[in-house]
């Protein structure tokens, strides 16, 4: 069985669908997924690719399509959601902190739930502090680490690797060097990762309704660090 590299940016609305589907797919197949946050915004700037900027009809379709796909997977987002995200880079850098510390999956999932279900933009307050707090970590500590030189160096290394591997959008999946782009290619990536006949289980597995982390109703202290660009 091969690993799947899951390249994503929390600023990508379609990535929400993959984030919510992956737990059940992993449970059914046993495939290992490597979560790889990267600076999608910078890649898009370099390609001069802004698919929804000043395109209201296309953005309207984006939300219509995500809602339609979400219903298939038993998800109930409240759309349209705030978009684009000013704080997507900070959200992704926090994901790198979470990756190093072993809590990236719940962090990304909760970020999307607060964004697309509660209307709180990811990478900004109150989403940022609430999500980190729900993952049982201190928002001030995590955000300070995310804005530090070590994580910035890791973030730029991810950008260089994304360029080298010809990743141009999110979500993207890489299996044994083969690129699959888009949530609608997730099942194909799963089939490429696992041997026959076990790959057949992917056919009937889509997703499941998201489960929120449960925490005591304590309001975290607002961090002093803020996304600036």
Q: For residues 35 and 98, is the Cβ–Cβ distance under 8 A?
A: no
Q: Count of domains in the chain?
A: 1
Residue 161 domain-assigned (yes or no): yes
**Residue 178 in this model has a pLDDT that exceeds 70:** yes
Tell me which residue range forms the domain holding 193: 4-204
Whether residue 167 lies inside any domain: the answer is: yes
CATH number at residue 190: 3.40.30.10
Question: Which tokens in the block code for residue 146?
Answer: 């995310």
Whether residue 193 is predicted with pLDDT greater than 80 in this model: the reply is: yes
Query: Is 191 part of a structural domain of the chain?
Result: yes
Is residue 41 domain-resident? yes
- Gap between the Cα atoms of 123 and 226, Å rounded: 9
Confidence at residue 53, expressed as pLDDT on a 0 to 100 scale: 75
- pLDDT, tens digit, 9 for 90 and up, residues 58-79: 999 999 999 999 999 999 999 9
* Overall size of the chain counted in residues: 229
Residue 228 lies in a domain: no
Choice between 31 and 227, residue whose per-residue pLDDT is larger: 31
Residue 112 lies in a domain: yes
Model pLDDT for residues 85-141, shown as the tens digit of each residue:
999 999 999 999 999 999 999 999 999 999 999 999 999 999 999 999 999 999 999
* DSSP count for the chain of H helices, then E strands: 9, 4
Whether 207 shows a pLDDT value over 70: the answer reads no
pLDDT at 18 over 70: yes
Residue 62 located in a structural domain: yes
Q: What is the pTM of this model?
A: 0.87
Under the banding of pLDDT at 50, 70 and 90, the label for residue 47 is confident
The reply to whether 209 falls in a domain is no
pLDDT for 51: 72
């Amino acid at each position: 069985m091969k690993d799947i590299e899951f390249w994503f940016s929390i600023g990508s609305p379609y990535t929400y669908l993959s984030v919510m589907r992956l737990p059940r797919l992993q449970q059914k197949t046993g495939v290992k997924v490597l979560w790889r946050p990267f600076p999608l915004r910078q890649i898009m700037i370099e390609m001069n690719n802004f698919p929804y900027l000043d395109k209201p009809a296309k953005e309207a379709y984006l939300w219509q399509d995500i809602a339609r796909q979400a219903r298939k997977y038993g998800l109930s987002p409240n759309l349209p959601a705030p978009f684009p995200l000013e704080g997507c880079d900070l959200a992704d850098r926090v994901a790198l902190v979470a990756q190093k510390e072993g809590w990236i999956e719940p962090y990304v999932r909760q970020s999307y739930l607060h964004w697309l279900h509660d209307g709180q933009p990811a990478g900004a307050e109150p989403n940022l502090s609430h999500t980190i707090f729900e993952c049982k970590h201190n928002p001030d500590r995590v955000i300070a680490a995310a804005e530090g030189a070590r994580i910035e160096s890791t973030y730029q290394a991810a950008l260089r690797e994304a360029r080298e591997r010809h990743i141009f959008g999110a979500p993207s999946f890489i299996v044994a060097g083969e690129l699959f782009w888009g949530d609608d290619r997730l099942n194909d990536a799963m089939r490429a990762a696992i041997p026959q006949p076990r790959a057949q289980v992917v056919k009937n597995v889509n997703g499941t309704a998201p489960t929120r982390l449960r925490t005591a109703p304590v309001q975290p202290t607002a961090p002093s660090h803020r996304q600036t660009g």
